[in-house]
Amino acid sequence: AQKVTQAQTEISVVEKEDVTLDCVYETRDTTYYLFWYKQPPSGELVFLIRRNSFDEKNEISGRYSWNFQKSTSSFNFTITASQVVDSAVYFCALKTSGSRLTFGEGTQLTVNP
Amino acid sequence: NAGVTQTPKFRVLKTGQSMTLLCAQDMNHEYMYWYRQDPGMGLRLIHYSVGEGTTAKGEVPDGYNVSRLKKQNFLLGLESAAPSQTSVYFCASSYGKQETQYFGPGTRLLVL
């Protein structure tokens, strides 16, 4: 069975602080895919990144960066110099070949001015 | 490209009424999905389709039916709405089984 754990239910930071959202996953498959989605207050789900299990390379996209570590089954997401517009619920998700897309419970990030 | 669109955005139903939610995608994706999002329960898969004319059950299919008569459209039906179906419904599509799912804006449904 697959499982995604986002232990941080809510995080509150002040603008310009760096913040890391944790994601821990469980699967017995050797081939799998990890995702992050953003859900702003307007409600839509916005795709941020997709990573496959064979590619542990970390990725940076502007102020966003992702740290994938198979040894600890983690796929953490860092926002550098946070902004108010980053306030949203962030979901980590896992997909394996034989299963549906499994979402974590989400982390509510609030960035205060 | 509009991506994934959903109609309507918001609806109020009385218990026992029926309705259909429409999802459309213009990305030529083979796979389409319906999810519901409830507080504290994350997103749960209701039904999905791997291609035109096919449908399959997801995690929470009871009380819902779906149809995929055209590749670009995926309909979710509630035959007899119940208060437990109050939720936010999301449609998604993907090119393939392991590919990224792109989501629509969601439909808020309130069943009284």
DSSP states along B29-79:
-SEEEEEEEETTTEEEEEEEESSTT--EE-SS-TT-EEE-SSTTEEEEEES
Beta carbons within 8 Å of A62's beta carbon, 6+ residues apart: none
Do A68 and B69 meet the contact criterion of CB atoms below 8 Å apart?
A: no
Residue B1 confidence (pLDDT) above 80:
no
- pLDDT of amino acid A92: 97
Q: Is A89 on the interface with B (CB under 8 A)?
A: no
Q: Which of A33, A44, A50 sits opposite B103 (nearest CB)?
A: A44
Count of A–B CB contacts within 8 Å? 39
Kindly report the nearest CA distance between residue B78 and chain A, in angstroms. Answer: 22
Residue A33 confidence (pLDDT) above 90:
yes
Query: For testing the chain B interface, which of A23, A44, A97 should be mutated: the one with the most B CBs within 10 Å?
Result: A44
Q: Is A60 on the interface with B (CB under 8 A)?
A: no
The dihedral over CA atoms of A66, A68, A73, A79, expressed in degrees to the nearest 10, equals -10
- pLDDT of amino acid A1: 80
Contact A45 B42 (CB under 8 A): no
Question: Could you report the per-residue pLDDT of B5-45, keeping only the tens digit for each?
Answer: 999 999 999 999 999 999 999 999 999 999 999 987 789 99
Contact A95 B98 (CB under 8 A): yes
Question: Could you report the per-residue pLDDT of B43-88, keeping only the tens digit for each?
Answer: 999 999 999 999 999 999 999 999 999 999 999 999 999 999 999 9
Q: In B, what residues contact A, Cβ < 8 A?
A: 33, 40, 42-43, 45, 48, 58-59, 88, 90, 92, 97-98, 100-106, 108
Q: Give the integer Cα–Cα distance in Å for A93 and B78.
A: 27
Residue B2 confidence (pLDDT) above 90:
no
Question: Could you report the per-residue pLDDT of A56-110, keeping only the tens digit for each?
Answer: 888 889 999 999 999 999 999 999 999 999 999 999 999 998 778 999 999 999 9
Question: Could you report the per-residue pLDDT of A45-59, keeping only the tens digit for each?
Answer: 999 999 999 988 888
Contacts of residue A105 in chain B, CB cutoff 8 Å? 40, 42
**Which is more confidently placed, A39 or A1?**
A39
Kindly report the nearest CA distance between residue A11 and chain B, in angstroms. Answer: 16
Question: Could you report the per-residue pLDDT of B79-112, keeping only the tens digit for each?
Answer: 999 999 999 999 999 998 889 999 999 999 999 9
Contact B98 A97 (CB under 8 A): yes
